[in-house]
Amino acid sequence: MSALNLAQALIKIKSISPDDGGCFKLLEPELVSLGFGIEKIKELNCETLLAKFGTKGKIFCYLGHTDVVPSGPEEEWSSHPFEANVIDGELIGRGAADMKGSVAAFIEALKNFLPNCPEPDFQIWVMLTSNEEGEPQDGKINTLINALAAKNEIIDYCLVGEASSSDRVGDVLRVGRRGSLSGNLKLLGKQGHVAYPQKVLSPILEIGPVIAELRDVEWDQGNEYFDPTSFQISNIESGTGATNVVPGHLNMLFNFRFSPESSHASLKQRVISVLNKSKCEFEIEWTLNAEPYLTQKTNLLQIIQKALLAVNQKEAVVDNGGGTSDGRWVAPSGAEVIELGPINQTIHQIDEKISLADLELLTKIYHQILVETQIAAS
């Protein structure tokens, strides 16, 4: 199948995290026909497909995912989110840009590369997960990465196909990400009648000064590679629904995106010091979603910039913005991790899309990266 046909076939599979939905079954024969050996690993509800080609040289891994977020109201789409229709030169559907289009483009690039270089001087892996978008309790690829490291199978170069580009495919590379630390706060007050304030302790009133102080803290100033650490609140829940009852507790979900200038331990300590000023007792459940990582001037960056210069006649801007990706699991092993994928304008939105021209351009870029990797390895 061509990149377009493969992308359409993948989009038609409703693979909501952590359900692969049959994407691996579709992709496996494509990779086997190219000479890849296939391993499939399942942890909890997360499935991972690991395809390996070659046994010599450095390991070049393309890291991607087949799962998607829910479509939202299907009636609001201009074309059904799981029909993968092409309208005015654009492929529309959930996962078109994040990241079934990328997966299809890389497999097409392999089809163009391997016939001309059947015995490359580096190993090629394709690692795909069914739970990049979903929750950690369903399983993540870090278990596989750790198991491979225990067998001394260490990825050298990791190309992540996330939607990194801004205005033109290949104009931005993500070479690092801030860390992510989430907190689930329960503030414990005392429930009672609103007419007797001396007998109650309102967690709603107590959380106000806490939020104000946390909002105004300068956690750090970032550095030359990373924006400063930021704090955001995503959910607050309290109250009984009655107008004459002061609630006894409040729940608040919050998140830090933190630079290497702060540690998750220091952030926890500073939050607790603010909460200690409240009259309420409290409980916090912490989740460290990711540590910050950075791939600086390295071999992989040089390889990709050469490929972009050859295809786009221009190198990319290096950036570390955005959310997290599965690159966070690979980076701690020492791999050079860089994200390069479609334009990031419609991911997770109604009418997610990738233009046919961009799909073709991404395929050319991925192919040239393989060519440049072979040149560097030979």
**What amino acid positions are annotated as catalytic residues?**
67, 132
Lookup result for tokens 């109650």: 200
Lookup result for tokens 């290497």: 260
Measured CA to CA in angstroms, residue 114 lies from 27, 60, 122, 279, 325 at distances of 17, 14, 12, 66, 28
**Radius of gyration, CA atoms only, the chain:** 23
What is the DSSP annotation of 304-352? Answer: HHHHHHHHHSSPPEEE--S---THHHHGGGT-EEEE--SB-SSTTSTT-
Alpha helices per DSSP H over 159-249: 203-216
- E strand residue ranges, the chain: 37-43, 46-53, 59-65, 85-87, 90-92, 123-129, 157-160, 172-174, 176-177, 179-188, 192-193, 230-238, 245-246, 249-258, 281-290, 293-294, 317-319, 336-339, 353-355
